[in-house]
Amino acid sequence: MYKRFLVLISLLISVLSLNAQESLDYSKYYKQLTIKSPKAIIYDAETGDVIYEKKANEKSSIASLTKLMTAMVIIDSNLDLNETVTITKDDFDRIKGTTSRLWLGSELTRKQLLTIALIASDNRAASAIANSYPGGKLAFVKAMNVKAKQLDMFDTVFTDPTGLDKNNISTAFDLVKMAQASNQYPLIRELTTSSYYEAFIKNKNKTLNYNNTNLLVRQGLWDIDVSKTGYIQEAGKCLLMQTKVLDRPIIMVFLKSYGKYTRTADAKRAKQWLENIHIQANLAMH
């Protein structure tokens, strides 16, 4: 009985560490995984292994996943994040006609705008960030594309900082690179994994409450490092995350989903699948 207990403890430790399974052939287990998003990738950020892919090199509109690049560019600019920026008519959405609670004339710091853009995916906030950049939005978008090339995102093009433009194009594989780069920014990690934000607009004497657009962040049950959702009709519902599964950094990207909960359900299925196959592999070893 005691020996069986020791075997079980040993098995649990090996499952949690995954060290013995770095060369695991995941393709043997593909049939056990159902991913309903038309395009997807699951990537081991520690080993650089593609664990699972589904049309991962096909180009697609990426909607508000764009805002991770917007965040990196504004942080890289070294502009004062505490400087006040005013919402103008130039920040209003003329592509999709989406609305925002950031009224005309509202004054917020760049950090407030960045927080609202990343947590709540507010398009007006992202636009105001870009318009506050030296040279305005055109220069900002150019900087986004330069950054993409620096990250070897060669199948990616940005045409606006919000993701409202359907011509913001990338692939699931390229978005892995964007996730890895975003994870190097402590502020992006902090903001994208915050479940809630309260913004006080001083000159309007108003407080606005925002919830994270990622249900998995709001629920607080996952260990998530970086997160971003997105949606426009042309892109479908999108989800990018770097999370931890069995204490290993795993990047998940799901594109073109159309069910209300499909992208979230895909993430849950992927996590359960990874946990299950490592248990199977370790049982086979013993």
Give the pLDDT of residue 190.
98
- In the predicted model, is pLDDT for residue 6 greater than 50? no
Domains and CATH numbers, the chain: 23-285 (3.40.710.10)
Among residues 39, 54, 67, 256, the one annotated as catalytic is 67
What are the phi and psi torsion angles at 238 (to 5°)? -120, 155
Which range (2-16, 87-101, 143-157, 222-236) has the least confidence? 2-16
Distance in angstroms (rounded) separating the CA atoms of residues 102 and 122: 9
d(CA 162, CA 120): 12
Q: At what angle do helices 136-150 and 123-131 cross, to 10 degrees?
A: 100
Helices 2-17 & 262-285 angle (0-180, nearest 10): 130
- Least Cα distance to 161 among 109, 96, 117 occurs for 117
3-state helix, strand, coil in the chain (%, to 5): 45, 20, 35
DSSP-derived pairing of the beta strands 39-44 and 224-232: unpaired
pLDDT tens track for 179-188: 999 999 999 9
Task: Report the alpha-carbon distance of residue 114 to residue 101 in Å, rounded.
Answer: 15
261 beta partners:
none
pLDDT in tens, 224-248: 999 999 999 999 999 999 999 999 9
Give CA–CA dist 164/67, Å, rounded: 10
Residue 162, Cβ neighbours under 10 Å: how many? 29
pLDDT tens digit sequence for 47-96: 999 999 999 999 999 999 999 999 999 999 999 999 999 999 999 999 99
In this prediction, residue 278 has a pLDDT band, given cuts at 50, 70 and 90, of confident
- This prediction has a pTM of 0.91
Catalytic residue (one of 37, 60, 100, 121): 121
β-bridge partners, 94 = none
Active site residue 64: yes
Q: Are 207 and 40 in contact (CB under 8 A)?
A: no
Average pLDDT estimate for 160-179: 98
Catalytic residue among 61, 64, 132, 257: 64
Q: Which amino acid is at 145?
A: N
Q: What are phi and psi of 82, to 5 degrees?
A: -95, 0
